[in-house]
Homo-oligomer: A and B are copies of this chain.
């Protein structure tokens, strides 16, 4: 993998680590919070701007006892300061009665800020297999 691709891949991994942590402080560090960021969770409407995006994460984190991601089929595209990543999120969610699994297809867009790639867009949608 090229070094820029590695940087983007690591940014993408950090996003899923922040998601697994269920810690809004960690998720805060992933996003370009001063940019017009956008986020679509599976089945949800678009959230636009960090305050609305942040609220969506708080809502999800408050209703999740535990979540794990096995991220596969990662494809990275880079053009200038922008990178867009597609991947499959193989998700295991801990709920009262045990565990639930699901497959989500994600488009993640990152904006380069020096050596750091920050998320400006996340679009996740359920895959009906």
Contacts and interface: CB of A to CB of B under 8 A. Distances in A.
Please give the count of copies of this chain that the complex contains: 2
Nearest to A48: B75
Given A84-B109, A105-B40, A107-B121, A45 B127 contact: yes
Interface in A32-50: 36, 38, 40, 42-46, 48
Given A125-B40, A127-B45, A81 B80 contact: yes
A74 B88 CA distance: 26
A47 to B, nearest CB: 10
A126 B82 CA distance: 26
A128 interface: yes
A82 B112 CA distance: 13
Interface string A100-122: 00000101010100000000110
Interface of A: 36, 38, 40, 42-46, 48, 73, 75, 77, 79-82, 84, 86, 88, 105, 107, 109, 111, 120-121, 123-129
